[in-house]
Amino acid sequence: MNKWQHKIVSFTLTELLVVMAISTIVVSLAFSVIGLLQRNVRQIQTNYKTKTEIQLLQQQLALDLQNFPEARVSYTQGQLTFGSPIDSTVYQFEKEYILRKQDTFDLTFKEKLYYFSGDVVSTGTIDAIKLRFSEKDSSKTIFLYKRNDALIKTNYGY
């Protein structure tokens, strides 16, 4: 038997090229799908973070409205102050964030309105607040209010 007569079983060059082309297509589709999934997961994380920030702000504002007997707004300084004879808390409203003591709420709002006895006010005592957040922050609206007691109404002459 001649050593040149022994045939080796193998694939042809054409078959290998077809397999490589199909493998390339499958791998590129897999990377495309992974990229889409990553973008969706990032968007979900951003939405979750924003909604959590809004909920935390809403909870803190509700607590401060109920726990402090007085709430005053200063339009020129962009501050909302909750006060009592013992303690006070100040909210500083900036364009891209809201600051409360050491807390920073990374939220952009479209509209903020302050109310006293059902009327919109820009400065002075308030008993309700409405914040509407921008489209980026899921178009959420917060409206919080508190009941006025007779002491606040008589002290300020209302």
pLDDT (tens digit per residue) in 75-95: 788 899 999 889 999 999 888
Residue 83 structural domain: 13-155
Dist CA 48 CA 67 (whole Å): 28
Domain-embedded: residue 132: yes
> What is this structure's pTM?
0.74
Q: Is the pLDDT of residue 109 over 50?
A: yes
Domain-embedded: residue 143: yes
Q: Please give the tally of structural domains in the chain.
A: 1
Domain-embedded: residue 66: yes
Q: How far from 79 is each of 68, 74, 91, 105, 124, CA to CA, in Å?
A: 16, 5, 6, 14, 11
Encoding tokens for residue 143?
């409206």
| C-beta of residue 120 within 8 angstroms of C-beta of residue 131 | no
Encoding tokens for residue 32?
């495309």
